[in-house]
Amino acid sequence: KYYRSSDNKPIRTVSGLVASFELEDYESKYQVSFKVPLRSSTLFIPGDGLYFGMTIQAWWQVYSDEISKPFRETNYTPEIFYIAPLPWQPNDGNMAFTVHFEHQSNGQTQLLSRSWNRLLASVVYEKNDFAIGVKPWYRFKENEKSDPLDPKGDDNPDIHKYLGHYEVFGAYAFNDDHKMSFNVRKNWKTGNGSIELNYSFPFPGSSRLVGFAQYFSGYGESLIDYNHKQQKLGFGIAVNDIF
């Protein structure tokens, strides 16, 4: 269950009519992620791997009885990525790098459509119970739309002004049961960005489930909200831990 500090009211076109929906401040969010190895042997560097990954995130207005509890937004992120260790071990830690090709879309049409394609790379350092990394990206350019209702062309040409060109992420395990992670994005020219904090803890009565708390502030928690600033606080259950 998530609480949103402010409502982004996108415009929907229904049978040629324009309408906006009154949304509840409380909603539910779920995420499903998986990865599949594309090779079982070394590709370039011993210990490396090539994978296909998929993440689906959905924001569900399950408490909106008056508008039939719609899904406010769903984001689909398929990607192909390569990961390999680096030979350096500063301060007795370990380092690795990744390269990703990623498509992200909300599967909508016309005025509600949001998408982009990116090439991302990251460098990660980890030691004991701590990890930190930086992930810059390059967005592949798209043609400008000749009309807002044109199905072809860039749905969100200014997305970099809000999400920037990189993110810094990290995680720390206090012990086997209590762990936290963070993610920070920033565009220094516009001053826009976001911060996300996650904390996991034991879920009573279950050895496979963990409790989960998340705080988000800024732009772009979902694609439809890429240019809408908000704060969100949520609590839920995760099947896998954040580490």
d(CA 140, CA 220): 18
Q: Which amino acid is located at 93 in the chain? A: G
Angular region, 153: left φ>0, alpha ψ -120 to 50, beta rest? left
Residue 151 pLDDT: 79
103, 113, 160, 165: the catalytic one is 103
Residue 208 pLDDT: 82
Residue 185 pLDDT: 98
64 is a catalytic site residue: no
Residue 4 pLDDT: 72
> Do 243 and 20 contact (CB within 8 A), yes or no?
no
DSSP code, position 145:
P
105 is a catalytic site residue: yes
Residue 133 pLDDT: 98
Q: How far from chain centre, in Å, is Cα 1?
A: 17
Locate 92 and state its tokens: 């007795």
105, 113, 165, 217: the catalytic one is 105
- Segment-wise mean pLDDT, segments of 10 residues, the chain, 243 residues: 68 46 83 94 94 96 86 96 96 97 93 95 97 98 87 92 98 95 97 97 86 96 95 90 53
Locate 15 and state its tokens: 């049978």
d(CA 160, CA 163): 5
Q: At residue 213, what are phi and psi to the nearest 5 degrees?
A: -125, 140
